[in-house]
Amino acid sequence: MARPTPISGFPEWLPHERMIEQHILDTIRNTFELHGFAPVETRAVEPLDQLLRKGETDKEIYVLRRLQAEEDDSEESVGLGLHFDLTVPFARYVLENAGKLQFPLRRYQIQKVWRGERPQEGRFREFYQADIDVIGKDRLPFHYEVEMPLVVADALARLPIPPIRIQANNRKIAEGFYRGLGIEDVTGVLRAVDKLDKIGPEQVHTLLVEQIGCTDEQARACLALARISAEDGSFADRVHELGAKDELLDEGLEELTRVVEAAREHAPGLLVADLRIARGLDYYTGTVYETQLRGHESLGSICSGGRYDNLASTEDETYPGVGISIGVTRLVSRLLGQNLLTVSRKVPTCVLVALPNEEARADCYRIAAALRRRGIAAEVAPEAVKYGKQIRFAERRGIPYVWFPQGESGGQEVRDIRSGEQRPADPDTWTPPAEDLYPLVTATGQ
């Protein structure tokens, strides 16, 4: 068999890299639970009509069918696709289970998603997202839009990563402003402005004039709005100076001011009002967020989301929500690619039980089992070779301790192979220092 070649866009980490990713996932999960969010997991596939009605995603969806699918297969005849985010499946989940859920529902969801994008740094075809959402029945108080960025900031602050900056806008500001200018294709303008970071203001201006039908003056005003940013409520005055008037604009300015001022009170410097943030998906209706890693702005947003009022709705009931999603794989890829994180050992094992001879293997298994019962990761050496080779086996993997069933004193002993210190030990009572119990993930240089 020829050596297989990787498929681009589908990352597979080495074991020690996966340990770093798992540490990040666990930290995020634990933080979400500290804030009272409960876990949800949804299926990987959704009907295509559900996926296609929620935004400009038709070119990104992977279609799913069996190789030998029957023509009369009712489920596959409607078309199934792999979910491209976790918000659309969650909205469907809420509608299906509304009678069993308590509202407002605080949910977190950590799963893989799939997008048919062109792979490049920070963009993958298969990747982990970690989402939180609060969803209500018929109404959802505005204060949850203030809470979202603070929860995510807490989760990311617990990781050994560079600081973040959250950029916030409100879709009502943009829509009200465009209407105040007399622009009819609000959605088209939003999608064009969302491309500012990718293609620059000149090309966006061209899109607005040639494809959306804006006048030159309207296009200049849209770009002027997108240039406004501030860490306090002063951005609202700068918007008013541009001259557009609309009730929806005023409502959005008031809401974004509350978000910015609350973040400024709880975490100064964390959040900035940035009116170029648009978010391309159609379902956002209020506050929207994007998050950058300071010093790594070229990576783009590692965390995004916003308010959605109509994503989950029936003829009789509406379930408005607000959520934010961390692009875990995007974050991990940058941290690993630039060697910004390190793990203290390549395996979870804390103790390697040395094997004097094959006849002693059963006794060594019992020692390892005694350690595991007390939460100490242990494994038995693979071969009964000279102790020097068994110690080197542990060193190559970063395992800090080697356990000798028969030490120099005649009884059991444990050696810290970093310092060479060896002392008598009992597997029913011995405990390593806390910093050695689990692999430690730290920023490089710490």
Query: Following DSSP, what letter does each residue of 66-119 receive, concatenated?
Result: -TT--TT-HHHHS-EEE-SSSHHHHHHHHHHHGGG--SSEEEEEEEEEE--PPP
Partners of 341 in beta bridges: 443
Instruction: Enumerate the CATH 3.40.50.800 domain ranges in the chain, comma separated.
Output: 351-430
Summarize the confidence of residues 222-244 as an average pLDDT: 93
Q: Which of 288-302, 348-362, 417-431 has the lowest mean pLDDT?
A: 288-302
Model confidence band, residue 6 (pLDDT cutoffs 50, 70, 90): confident
pLDDT of 50 reads: 83
Q: Which of 184-193, 224-233, 234-243, 276-285 has the lowest mean pLDDT?
A: 276-285
- The full length of the chain comes to 446
The CATH code that applies to domain 9-163+294-343 is 3.30.930.10
Model confidence band, residue 75 (pLDDT cutoffs 50, 70, 90): low
Asked whether residue 68 carries a pLDDT value surpassing 90, the answer given is: no
Kind of pairing between the strands at 341-343 and 441-443 = antiparallel
Asked whether residue 144 carries a pLDDT value surpassing 80, the answer given is: yes
**Other beta carbons within 10 Å of 179:** 17
Q: Which of 56-70, 254-268, 372-386 has the lowest mean pLDDT?
A: 56-70
- Report the Cα–Cα distance between both ends of the chain, in Å, rounded: 44
Chain-centroid distance of CA 129 in Å reads 4
Give kind and range of the element (H or E) at residue 413. Answer: strand 413-416
Q: Are 280 and 55 in contact (CB under 8 A)?
A: yes
Residue 29's nearest CA partner among 213, 187, 178, 155 is: 155
- For residues 223 and 234, what is the distance between their CA atoms, to the nearest angstrom? 18
Model confidence band, residue 190 (pLDDT cutoffs 50, 70, 90): confident
With a CB cutoff of 8 Å and minimum separation 6, the contacts of 227 are: 275, 276
pLDDT of 196 reads: 86
Summarize the confidence of residues 25-47 as an average pLDDT: 97
pLDDT of 49 reads: 85
* Residue 443 tokens, joined: 């920023």
Residues contributing to the annotated binding site for L-histidine: 85-87, 115, 129, 133, 279, 283-284
- For residues 369 and 377, what is the distance between their CA atoms, to the nearest angstrom? 9
* Residue 391 tokens, joined: 């110690």
With a CB cutoff of 8 Å and minimum separation 6, the contacts of 43 are: 89
Instruction: Enumerate the CATH 3.30.930.10 domain ranges in the chain, comma separated.
Output: 9-163+294-343
pLDDT of 78 reads: 66
SS (H, E, C) 73-86: CHHHHCCEEECCCC
Q: Which of 98-102, 216-220, 263-267 has the lowest mean pLDDT?
A: 263-267
Asked whether residue 281 carries a pLDDT value surpassing 70, the answer given is: no
- For residues 312 and 320, what is the distance between their CA atoms, to the nearest angstrom? 7
Return the percent helix, strand and coil in the chain, to nearest 5.
Answer: 40, 20, 40
The pTM of this model reads 0.89
Asked whether residue 187 carries a pLDDT value surpassing 90, the answer given is: no
Q: Find out whether the peptide bond into 104 is cis, omega within 30 degrees of 0.
A: yes
- For residues 320 and 285, what is the distance between their CA atoms, to the nearest angstrom? 10
- For residues 226 and 196, what is the distance between their CA atoms, to the nearest angstrom? 9
**Other beta carbons within 10 Å of 126:** 16
Residue 32's nearest CA partner among 150, 143, 145, 126 is: 150
* Residue 105 tokens, joined: 């529902």
pLDDT of 203 reads: 94
Asked whether residue 76 carries a pLDDT value surpassing 70, the answer given is: no
Q: Which of 43-57, 134-148, 225-239, 340-354 has the lowest mean pLDDT?
A: 43-57
pLDDT of 184 reads: 87
pLDDT of 74 reads: 59
* Residue 34 tokens, joined: 């500290």
pLDDT of 52 reads: 81
Q: What per-residue string of b and e applies to 353-392 under the rule 16 or more CB within 10 Å gives b?
A: bbbbeeebeebbeebbebbeeeebbbbbbeebeeeeebbe
Residues contributing to the annotated binding site: 85-87, 115, 129, 133, 279, 283-284
The rounded percent of the chain whose pLDDT value lies above 90 is 74
- Taking all residues of the chain, what is their mean pLDDT, rounded to a whole number? 91
- For residues 20 and 149, what is the distance between their CA atoms, to the nearest angstrom? 24
Higher pLDDT, 102 or 57: 102
pLDDT of 117 reads: 83
pLDDT of 257 reads: 95
Q: Which of 25-29, 183-187, 215-219 has the lowest mean pLDDT?
A: 183-187
Token pair 């059991």: residue: 412
Higher pLDDT, 409 or 251: 251
The CATH code that applies to domain 351-430 is 3.40.50.800
